[in-house]
A and B are shown apart, each in its own frame.
Chain A
Amino acid sequence: MARIFVVDDEPDMVDLLATILRADGFEVETDTDGRSALARMLADTPDLVLLDLMMPDLDGMELLKLLRLDPKGAGVPVLVVSARSGHQDQLGTLQLGANAYICKPFSPRELVRQVHQLLANSQGETRE
């Protein structure tokens, strides 16, 4: 089963995301700190990253940039979770290399749907 890495500074959010994804049968790894999360992801590349944008120290945008700079992290699909619902914010994130965007507060069903879609897309690309 696909392995998903969840990064969010809020333990409750991490818990919720992990619960939803595990209920759907995914293997979930979590981290509440941006720097250690990046190190762990680069050490052992996950199939998909769920990334919160607003984090102290190293925020989601920075983490995304650094991840994309590394050859190991360049191809990982990233689903950004953000409280910002503006069109501009979404565009900015996508330009930085995120694959999809989901706004808080979202429904678990919507999250799972997006995760499945991203994974399907990335598998299709790998096969080609």
Chain B
Amino acid sequence: MSRRRGRLQTRIARHIAFAVVVSLVASALVLVVFRHRGVQRNMERSARTYASLISTPLANIVGFLGSGGQDLLDQQVARLRELNEDVERIEIVSVRGRVVLRSEVGEVVVYEDGVDAPRVTDLDLLHAISGLESTASRVSRLDGSRAYRVVAPVVSQWGRHTFSFVGTFSYDRVDQELRSSLWLSALILAAGLGLTQWVSVTLAGGITSDVEKLREGVQRIQEGHLAERVSVASRDEIEELAEAFNLMADELLATIRRLREANRELETLDQTKADLVANVSHELKTPLTALRGYLELMSEGGLGGIADEAQRAVMVCRKNVQRLSLRVEELVQLSRLDRFTALDSTREDVDLSSLLEGVFETIKPRVEDRRMEFVLRVEPDLPVLEANIEQVERVFLNLFDNAVKFTPKGGSVLISAEHSVHDGRAGVQVRITDSGIGIPAAELVRIFDRFHQVDPSSRRRFGGMGLGLSLVRSIVEAHRGAVWVESEQHVGSTFFVWLPTADVGGVSLVKGAPSARLENADEDRLAVEEM
């Protein structure tokens, strides 16, 4: 940012300087051109006046003096020449074109009626000489320079027109005037440039100092000083911009306050919810404990024998209390998971083989009267996982329980665990394959959603609130794992759970060669139960 600071001033200064220089140059040029024209017009006018004034006296001098008194002639002509500073050559020419008198600088030649007298051959000039009107024209000379030529008729007192005056005037003085004007303009321009530099930088600084103030204000706010405001009193767009900016900062501050307030409310609400769930679970679990305890005592004869009818009723009660207990526990788990993050959960090393075995043994009694094949196959040397043991246990409890629940009598539930690489990370994959009723394709995506059940009537048939699978997904995802399902209706479903291996020094360990795994798996059936 600092590298760009001051560039704006330079840019504006450059624009100002450019504008000033262009106008200076333009006005100088205009002035020079006008001045030049004026000078030239003056010179030509005085040349014409001069010609009309001296044509007759000069002709008279020639007439009176002839070539007899050369000195006097020279003197007289020189005096006449002095009347005009631009005059170069003056001639008296007869209307037939014969030069009678010619005066160049410093010399006067008078031609008698001799043969050596030069003649005018230029037709235009001859025409002008023979005319009765004064004419003037700009002519180019052989060497390329310009000249002004004035022809004035000399009319005698008897009205005869025998001679004409031809004056040639030089533009040297005009050109010199032009050159000196140009030099003067250049000099003024040079001085102006220096002045422009200073003026433009000062002017630009006036503009950019406000912009700089604005920038500093923005930076202060950006650094977190949200209460800071920008004050610019330039009475223009920049001040307007500063005001708009201040308004935006006000709005920002208000929004941040509102968000903080909302966040505090949410935190309070979250805490209230957690407290509520804790209390509810206590309120529900205590009566459930009393129910369960007495029902078990009754059915096991602890309170004296009861009739068979009553015994059946007690069993129904026990089953339903069990169900209620499970649901309550699910609710508690779910509410805890909502607040579960990778940071605040306790992780420990988990031996997945023994964990799966434990869950398997828990579920096993449930399949005993259903003539089902229920098999657990665990690959040897499974890596240690870093996980929350309680939650991972719940994942498999839910999945095994689901598989058994949705598989009819005589079906099979096969569970296997093996090394697996998922998305380039090492881990363990557990497959739970059942020969149950399956899941319609349209439902496959949604079954992990909270409170979702494939068939609303299944709530009655199979129990549960549709929380089980959403709990599974929440736990697995909190462990940076993945869970998915493949299923075909009336054939069965396979649930996959993949959990990452505990990182050792940031490197995932993959144990065992992949090719050797499946062969080992068959030999190492940890638990096989066929009925």
Residues of chain A touching chain B, judged by Cβ–Cβ distance below 8 Å, are: 10, 12-13, 16-17, 19-20, 23, 54, 83-88, 104-109, 111
Contact = CB atoms under 8 A, between A and B. Distances in A.
Given A85-B329, A105-B325, A13 B286 contact: yes
29 contacts: A17-B293, A19-B293, A19-B294, A19-B297, A20-B297, A23-B302, A83-B281, A83-B286, A84-B282, A85-B329, A85-B332, A87-B389, A87-B390, A88-B346, A104-B286, A104-B288, A104-B289, A105-B285, A105-B289, A105-B292, A105-B321, A105-B325, A106-B289, A106-B292, A106-B293, A108-B296, A108-B297, A109-B296, A111-B293
A82 B482 CA distance: 33
A83 B325 CA distance: 11
Among B290, B302, B346: residue with most chain A CB under 10 A: B290
Interface string B187-231: 000000000000000000000000000000000000000000000
Contacts of B288: 104-105
Given A19-B297, A88-B346, A108 B302 contact: yes
Contacts of B325: 105
Contacts of B389: 87
Nearest to A12: B290
B42 to A, nearest CB: 111
Contact of B293 (A16, A54, A88): A16
Nearest to A16: B293
Nearest to B346: A87
Contacts of B346: 87-88
Contact of A104 (B285, B294, B297): B285
Contacts of A109: 296
A105 B296 CA distance: 12
Interface string B110-138: 00000000000000000000000000000
A20 B303 CA distance: 9
B336 interface: yes
Interface of B: 278, 281-282, 285-294, 296-297, 300, 302-303, 321, 325, 329, 332, 336, 346, 388-390
Q: Which 6 A-B pairs have the closest CB atoms?
A: A83-B282, A105-B289, A83-B285, A104-B285, A105-B288, A104-B289
Chain B, interface SS category: helix
Contacts of A108: 293, 296-297, 300, 302
Given A54-B282, A104-B285, A108-B293, 19 more contacts: A12-B287, A13-B289, A19-B297, A19-B302, A19-B303, A20-B297, A23-B302, A83-B286, A84-B281, A84-B282, A85-B332, A104-B286, A104-B289, A105-B288, A105-B291, A105-B292, A105-B293, A105-B325, A108-B300
Contact of A13 (B278, B290, B302): B290
B471 to A, nearest CB: 14
A10 B283 CA distance: 11
Contact of A23 (B290, B297, B388): B297
A35 to B, nearest CB: 21
Contacts of A83: 281-282, 285-286
Contacts of B278: 84
A115 to B, nearest CB: 14
A18 B302 CA distance: 13
A12 B291 CA distance: 10
